[in-house]
Amino acid sequence: MSRILIALLTLLALSNVQALEPFKPLPELPPIPRSNSQTPEKVALGKQLYFDSRVSFTGKQTCNTCHNLSLGGDDNRSLSTGALGIEGTRSAPTLWNVGFQTVYFWDGRAPSLEAAIGEHLLSSSEMGMPNEATLVGRINAIEGYRKQFEKVFPGKNSLGYDNVTKALASYIRTLVTPDGPFDQYLGGDKQAISRAALRGYNTYIETGCASCHFWVNFSGPVPGLAFQMGEGFYELFPNYIGTEYDEQYQLLSDLGRYLVTGDEGHRYMWRVQSLRNIAETAPYFHNGSVVTLEEAIRLMAKTQLRKELDVQQLSDIIAFLKTLSGRIPEVEAPILP
Amino acid sequence: MSRILIALLTLLALSNVQALEPFKPLPELPPIPRSNSQTPEKVALGKQLYFDSRVSFTGKQTCNTCHNLSLGGDDNRSLSTGALGIEGTRSAPTLWNVGFQTVYFWDGRAPSLEAAIGEHLLSSSEMGMPNEATLVGRINAIEGYRKQFEKVFPGKNSLGYDNVTKALASYIRTLVTPDGPFDQYLGGDKQAISRAALRGYNTYIETGCASCHFWVNFSGPVPGLAFQMGEGFYELFPNYIGTEYDEQYQLLSDLGRYLVTGDEGHRYMWRVQSLRNIAETAPYFHNGSVVTLEEAIRLMAKTQLRKELDVQQLSDIIAFLKTLSGRIPEVEAPILP
């Protein structure tokens, strides 16, 4: 039984009737883990850290440098260079709606947003901090931060590395883009999307895209529903090896989840990506090798579903995917301590 | 006759009675040059460019990197490193209220904000663009920008280098921090500043600080009043050479305006800096060598006025200078094309 089918059956087995719908409008907030409850003060602190370049070792980079909320939530680059000038090996994804993921990184190696952030801060190709103590010491030297951490995380060790990641995660969970045209359509406004988009929706279903890209975030199960946090929804990519795309876009040069687990079954396995705001987040795929949405769709149909889409189908699916672009909330630049 | 006296007499000679007041609340907007009228669309375009890293050669830096509106309008560093990794030789000043200047850069070498921006974009220690055409080509490749430039600057050559600097200047002129406690005090609210600040205000006048740091921006004449755009208000710094500070803070290693004009009379001449938001913009002076406001005041009294301030005087002047911190307007991150 294919993994896709198992996932769908799991969904169907849920007693909640709503769960039978393959898609669902985006809620205002993703599930909040009990270990990191959301308070306005914690979110505000996380937002400051998100936009503060002192969180990077060289002081030249913020979270927003690569996950740019002004630019669709990513940096529109294939690969990004970190604070130390070292280029990463995988494309920076958008952070809009990542709170709906159950695992993090392209290979799903982090079981929580907090764990993913903790790794980002220390990565030599990202924020470049040499160790946890350096980061904590840096923040501790800023009086305003010290006071805020004491308030947000009362008790001993209020300014610990874990709390830095918790504050950042709290802010990032607020990065949600609701009310896109397709969400409005799902909510009952049948005029919210064009006829082309509606055709594209049907083509999307018929082609089989929805087998993996379904549910709230168009990336399969969300935390607390069918999957728990830390459980990933993975697929082979490419599913059919041997197309011209393998070489053209170097699809076989990164072994994906195999690099995490060493399990042969995980060769070329990747976390299923969200399609929300996909029209704003080119270039595409783990290596950022595909520049246009059209080519990305053509490639996916071929490598995943062994199908060739004609020009009309492609154009319709693009029209549909564009309705997955949500309302980007206003982001007010924080005042830093 | 000293330059300071000349400047004061010039002010006194103005017929407008208001002009006799040495200080004045900050207006909502600085003077807008006729050659670059302000429109909401132009300001919005300039704001996008301000926050867009593609305006730097490496795509790693925005205007906001060094002139960080979340951090008092500067980057709290002595010297800043540009997009190419090259460090500049002078400290990045805050951009809040710079529209009230008559000349730009520490040495006043740019006669307008537009000219200053044009130089920043090409400087190897700032945005690092190799030439004007590269920047224009870069922006021209972004469809959204192309359309906006056509709308904001109709006619031929709508996307020219000059128009890039004009759009940026239009946005930067909106960066004004009105309604600080001292502005409220000047507006008639005598309770807006503390008794310590009031004592500090008197000490500031008696010590002689106001000889140079007066008027709207606490930096002497503003455009259109006594001085025209392009005319600079300069002072010797240090005025009295030979204090211990010369060596301690390397005050003599940068020749200031002399490097621009080659005129011996311009050795160690510098544009008089604004004191607005001074409490938020450490470290201080052209080389960013002085870390605390207290030490900066002590040094200025000694090197400029040959005076020693006691602990009470210093503390009072600090209290006064803190009332020059204005209300930082909300800055909403723009959506980039």
Summarize pLDDT for A248-292 with one digit per residue, the tens.
Answer: 999 999 999 999 999 999 999 999 999 999 999 999 999 999 999
What pLDDT was estimated at residue B5?
A: 44
Question: In B, which residues are within 8 Å of A81 by CB distance?
Answer: 60
What pLDDT was estimated at residue B22?
A: 83
Summarize pLDDT for B136-190 with one digit per residue, the tens.
Answer: 999 999 999 999 999 999 998 999 999 999 999 999 999 999 999 999 999 999 9
Question: Which fold would CATH assign to domain B3-27+178-322?
Answer: Cytochrome Bc1 Complex; Chain D, domain 2 (1.10.760)
Summarize pLDDT for B39-77 with one digit per residue, the tens.
Answer: 999 999 999 999 999 999 999 899 999 999 999 999 999
pLDDT at B122 over 60: yes
Give Cα A138 distance to the centre of its chain: 28
| CA B49 – CA B47 distance, rounded (Å) | 5
Q: Which is more confidently placed, B222 or B257?
A: B257
Q: How many angstroms separate the CA of residue A75 from the nearest CA in chain B?
A: 9
Cross-chain Cβ contact A85/B85 below 8 Å: yes
Does domain A34-173 correspond to CATH entry 3.40.47.10? no
Angle (CA) B277-B280-B283 rounded to 5° is: 115
Q: Does residue B57 sit in helix, strand or coil?
A: coil
Q: Does residue A218 sit in helix, strand or coil?
A: coil
Percentage with pLDDT > 90 across chain A: 88
Q: What is the pLDDT averaged over residues A28-43?
A: 95
Pairing of strands B234-236, A269-271: unpaired
Task: Give the nearest partner residue to B51 out of A59, A70, A75, using CB atoms.
Answer: A70
* A102 within 8 A of A225, measured Cβ to Cβ: no
What does the mean pLDDT of chain B come to?
92
Cross-chain Cβ contact B70/A336 below 8 Å: yes
Question: Which residues have C-beta within 8 Å of that of residue B171, sequence separation ≥ 6?
Answer: B43, B44, B45, B46, B47, B49, B50
Sorted by where each begins, the domain ranges of chain A are 3-27+177-322, 34-173
Cross-chain Cβ contact A333/B334 below 8 Å: no
pLDDT at B105 over 70: yes
Euclidean distance between the first and final Cα of chain A, in Å?
55
Q: How many angstroms separate the CA of residue A335 from the nearest CA in chain B?
A: 4
Summarize pLDDT for A197-209 with one digit per residue, the tens.
Answer: 999 999 999 999 9
Does domain A3-27+177-322 correspond to CATH entry 1.10.760.10? yes
pLDDT at B285 over 70: yes
pLDDT at A16 over 60: no
Euclidean distance between the first and final Cα of chain B, in Å?
55
Give me the residues of A, 83-102, that contact B with CB < 8 A: 85
Please spell the DSSP secondary structure of B209-272, one letter per residue: GGGTS-TTTTSS--BTBTB-TT---EEESSSSTTSTHHHHTTTTS--BTHHHH--GGGTTEEEP
- pLDDT category of residue B19 using cuts at 50, 70 and 90: very low
Q: Which is more confidently placed, B102 or B221?
A: B102
pLDDT at B15 over 70: no
What pLDDT was estimated at residue A79?
A: 94
Summarize pLDDT for A210-227 with one digit per residue, the tens.
Answer: 999 998 999 988 877 777
Q: How many angstroms separate the CA of residue A258 from the nearest CA in chain B?
A: 32
* Host H or E run for residue B182: helix B181-186
ipTM score assigned to the predicted complex? 0.73
Q: Which of A235, A287, A268 is nearest to A93 (CA)?
A: A287
Active site residues of B: 126
Task: Give the nearest partner residue to A331 out of B59, B85, B333, using CB atoms.
Answer: B333
